[in-house]
Amino acid sequence: DFGGPDGHVPEGGEFFNLETIRVTRCSTTSSALTVYFCGTGVATNRDLVLGSGRKSPNIGTDTFREYLSCRFGEGVKKGSHHRSVYRLGVGCKDSMAGMSHVWVVVAQPDGNFYWLQSFISHYSLATWMKKKDSSTKSGVAGVLTFNELMGKLD
């Protein structure tokens, strides 16, 4: 089940193998980050929402990009930005469902954004946060300006 709808169901692994524990599924990382920033009530609320049939996933990034642009513009006018946590994902409906991916974007008070993710058997969140990216203003992959974030969402 790839961690349940919101990733809070832990995956198995050898407890004493640190690399197994450190390099987790993206859904587990997303769930842990949501708990860290928002608490367990928010981290598990997707189970209830998805189970009720009241809310369907959005397709594409247009609505999200428009929402972020509005929020960012408000922050520019006020001179400070509201910290917000967004859970995003790319899903597959066929036999490639295991190739789905989720990540978390955290809007920071200074107007930058954290793009936080891991990928099972490839890299941990800590490794991702240290990954160099000369195409970003920050020089690392996980910290983006507003325009850099919009570019990634295209």
pLDDT, tens only, 40-93: 777 667 555 554 455 555 667 788 899 899 999 999 999 999 988 887 776 666
In sequence order, the β-bridge partners of residue 114 are 106, 143
The reported pLDDT for the residue numbered 99 is 56
pLDDT in tens, 5-31: 555 555 555 556 555 555 566 766 777
Burial tier of 35 (Cβ tally within 10 Å: 0-12, 13-18, 19+)? middle
**Residue given tokens 């240290």 in the structure block:** 130
Q: Could you tell me the pTM of the whole model?
A: 0.70
The reported pLDDT for the residue numbered 73 is 96
